[in-house]
Amino acid sequence: MIIPAKNNPSLPVMIRVKGIESIVNWFEQHQRSLYAIGLSYLGNQRKIEELFYRAILQVHKELPRFKSSTSFEISVLSIFILICRELSLNKSIQASEVSDYHQEIFHALHPLKEKKREVLVLTYIKGLSKDETAQLLQVSAEQVKALIFSGLQSLRNGMGDGEHYHGCKEFQKLYVDYLERNMDRPRKIDFEIHIYHCQDCQEDLAALQEVMLGFNEAIAKFSVPPGFMENVKERIAERESLNQQKKNKRKRNGFIAAGIFALAIFAGLFTGAFSKLYYTWTEENQELRAFLQADVGERLNLEAESDGVKIKIKSAIADDVQTLIFYEIEDTNENNQYMINFDDGVFIEDERNIMNDHTSQRYYPPDFGSELNNEEKNTYHGKISLPPLKEDKSTIKLKINKVMKIVGDSSDSYKSIEPEEGEWNFEIPVTKQPSTEYALEEDIEIEGVPVRFDKLILAPTATILQYGLKTEQKKKRIDMINFKNMKINNKITEADLFGSSYVYTQPDFRWSNFQAHFEPLFEKETDEVKIQFHSVNLSIEELKTVELDTSKKYPQTFEYAGSTISIDKVEIGQPTRVVFSNHEIKNREYESLHFNIATEEENISMEGDYEGVIVDKNGKEYDMNKAPFIYEDIEQPRHFFTVQSFKIQGDNVVPKSLDIFGYNTTKYLDDIVEIETELIVKDKAGIR
């Protein structure tokens, strides 16, 4: 979904023009400092991937609301920091995921109070000015200066040095300005005279300066793990492709014969059979119809209207996974369609007390292509996911002050949305439906990598498989498993290919836990489950360094992973350009490379672009820049990078080498695993 940024002058031109692709490129250009910020909060690469993924999507959503008076970078960082806070539930950094030369500094940063940590990372990692940091954190510039000093002191103490230093308090507040050379000459002279005569302040200042230098040195040496951004971009690409998916749904029956109802009632069909028949005739939304036919939830038909826009809450389905709200919006004045964006203009009164805030809300993309949403130009049917309830029964006081107008006709592949304000208030009675959990305890290997199946959750709104991936693998690791389906009680439930989520509670740092979501089955008991795989995304470590000699003529070729790669161009200038390519797709093992371009200078800025093709099972190629295609209709697609070009910003920066760390590849599977289940019994206190 493309959301236009209109003509906001605070946005970079490419952001205004290209939307989410340019946002991804902006994050890639700034990935080093952003990754370091994320590491200071999270200490876990998979969590930081989730951080980048969420931040890119949120920035894309928020673009129309970016203020022209605020720089694009500050606006992005405010979103980035907010998501950092939300994800930092686990306060311990895993030492195995932080390399030695900056391990100590990040261990010391992590336990600092939030504001102290934030001013340090924004000032010394992101390089913001004190005024910019103050604007972002909504504090004064003087407070930023005080927080920098106290943060550096805490950092020094946390690294085991500084407890015995006792400088003069009236001069301590001048340390940062002095070390950063921000003092005017008269104050500098007075300060240096005092330092010359005060041994305590000499030692205190020297120790603080050592911490600042160590901090800067650690950040200068810091590098992003190879392949990190490729993983994020792949998730974004998959998410965007979902927006183009068209679901095949049956057209509703537009007429109900009163005689059929009378006959059914006369025959006494008030049983489940009548319920299924009744909702088949009366409920046009097929997804909601399935819930109602399974006796999960009930019709509500709550209505509220503002300026001719009528919102109807049709039903609320709640369980331990989420609270699904099905809605319908009708424009009674014109032929416009509106949708609800759950994270913009939607509020729940007393949310912390009635809902579980330790779970992530699921995002359901708008279904612009459904037949139901194309039948009437002034009506839109949708759903939003809210957190699960804490109690079995509750009343959700839902307040909506903004809806999104859908812009674009039915022939458009992409839609944009524009916010419109109003006031719609609802009191929604909800009863939480029970779910069943089973322990699986099954270990297997996929492509030689250990995989562990831990739990099966049968909930009314979703069927969930929890599994773990071994993180200790060095030469080969699984980045993601894509499932095809599960078979439970002879019923097959298809996997949501875009519904995998990271489990934030990780009891064993050697494993990373994930949840894969499948369609609801409305089953409550089972003694076994059959899991069919679809594919795995792998990262393979294979090191190679290719010297970039600017005195040579290009193109030059080299061999890697069974393929011949061409270095097409190495041009020194403003900027310096490096281009390499491989157009040979047949039998190629790698899809994209994990690499770095080493230069004589440190702290360089690099801007990258790439070309690629999608290749199906039979070798047919789909050019992403030419004729449109539906990604989901391609059989066993693989995304191959063919050309990668980079601009190295600076004054005649000389590239020294292309350092390749490894590559990504996709393996398609057709394996089926059969697992016995063991019921996990719950009581009021939790699980026992």
* SS3 at position 192: helix
- Tokens 């070009």 correspond to 645
Distances (CA, A) of 271 to 274, 276, 289, 404: 5, 9, 16, 40
Q: Could you give the CA distance from residue 487 to residue 674 in angstroms, rounded to a whole number?
A: 9
What's the count of helices (H) and strands (E) in the chain, helices before strands? Answer: 18, 28
494 vs 411, which has greater pLDDT? Answer: 494
Q: Could you give the CA distance from residue 195 to residue 346 in angstroms, rounded to a whole number?
A: 57
* SS3 at position 647: strand
Instruction: Name which of 505, 479, 510, 398 is nearest 664 in CA terms.
Output: 479
pLDDT exceeds 80 at position 23: yes
Beta strands in 169-322 (DSSP E): 299-306, 309-318
Instruction: Name which of 318, 321, 347, 520 is nearest 429 in CA terms.
Output: 318
- Residues 248-260 pLDDT 10s: 333 333 333 344 4
CA–centroid distance for 545 within its chain: 32
Query: Quick one: CA dihedral 418, 419, 421, 422, positive or negative?
Result: positive
Please say whether the beta carbons of 518 and 467 come within 8 A.
no
213 vs 487, which has greater pLDDT? Answer: 487
pLDDT exceeds 90 at position 590: yes
- Region 537-557: mean pLDDT is 92
Query: Quick one: CA dihedral 338, 343, 345, 350, positive or negative?
Result: positive
pLDDT exceeds 50 at position 277: yes
- Tokens 């836990």 correspond to 513
Residue 480 exposure: Cα atoms within 13 Å on the Cβ side = 23
User: What are the residues whose beta carbons fall under 8 Å from the beta carbon of 135, sequence distance 6 or more?
Assistant: 70, 74
What per-residue string of b and e applies to 399-437 under the rule 16 or more CB within 10 Å gives b?
ebebbbbbeeeeeeeebbbeeeebebebebebebbebbb
What's residue 104's pLDDT? 62
pLDDT exceeds 60 at position 161: no
Summary mean pLDDT of the chain: 80
Instruction: Name which of 651, 679, 394, 629 is nearest 527 in CA terms.
Output: 679
Q: What is the crossing angle of helices 31-41 and 100-109, to 10°?
A: 60
What's residue 396's pLDDT? 95
DSSP states along 318-386: E-SS-EEEEEEEEESSSS--EE--TTSSEEETTHHHHB-TTSPPP-----TT-SGGGT-TTEEEEEEEE
Residue 571: CB atoms within 10 A of its CB come to 13
Instruction: Name which of 471, 426, 463, 510 is nearest 677 in CA terms.
Output: 463
Amino acid identity of residue 276, one-letter, is K
Residue 158 exposure: Cα atoms within 13 Å on the Cβ side = 21
Instruction: Write down the CATH number for the domain with range 296-431.
Output: 2.60.40.1630
Q: Could you give the CA distance from residue 132 to residue 138 in angstroms, rounded to a whole number?
A: 10
DSSP states along 120-176: HIIIIIS---HHHHHHHHTS-HHHHHHHHHHHHHHHHHHTT--TT----HHHHTTHH
So where are the chain's domains?
A: 13-221, 296-431
Instruction: Name which of 436, 351, 444 is nearest 395 in CA terms.
Output: 351
- Residues 293-349 pLDDT 10s: 888 888 898 999 999 999 999 999 999 999 999 999 999 988 899 999 887 889 999
3-state secondary structure 429-476: EEEECCCEEEEEEEEEEECCEEEEEEEEEEECCEEEEEEEEECCCCCE
Please say whether the beta carbons of 608 and 645 come within 8 A.
yes
Phi and psi for 419 in degrees, rounded to 5?
-75, 140
Distances (CA, A) of 439 to 329, 457, 502, 519, 680: 41, 9, 18, 20, 6
Q: For the whole model, what pTM was predicted?
A: 0.59
pLDDT exceeds 70 at position 164: no
Instruction: Name which of 511, 512, 487, 490 is nearest 501 in CA terms.
Output: 512
> How sure is the predictor about 555, in pLDDT bands with cuts at 50, 70 and 90?
very high
pLDDT exceeds 50 at position 7: no
- Residues 36-86 pLDDT 10s: 888 888 877 888 888 999 899 888 887 777 766 567 888 888 888 888 887
> How sure is the predictor about 101, in pLDDT bands with cuts at 50, 70 and 90?
very low
Q: Could you give the CA distance from residue 313 to residue 326 in angstroms, rounded to a whole number?
A: 6
Q: Could you give the CA distance from residue 565 to residue 643 in angstroms, rounded to a whole number?
A: 10
CA–centroid distance for 133 within its chain: 24
Residue 149 CB burial class (10 angstroms; 0-12, 13-18, ≥19)? buried
- Residues 668-687 pLDDT 10s: 998 999 999 888 865 444 44
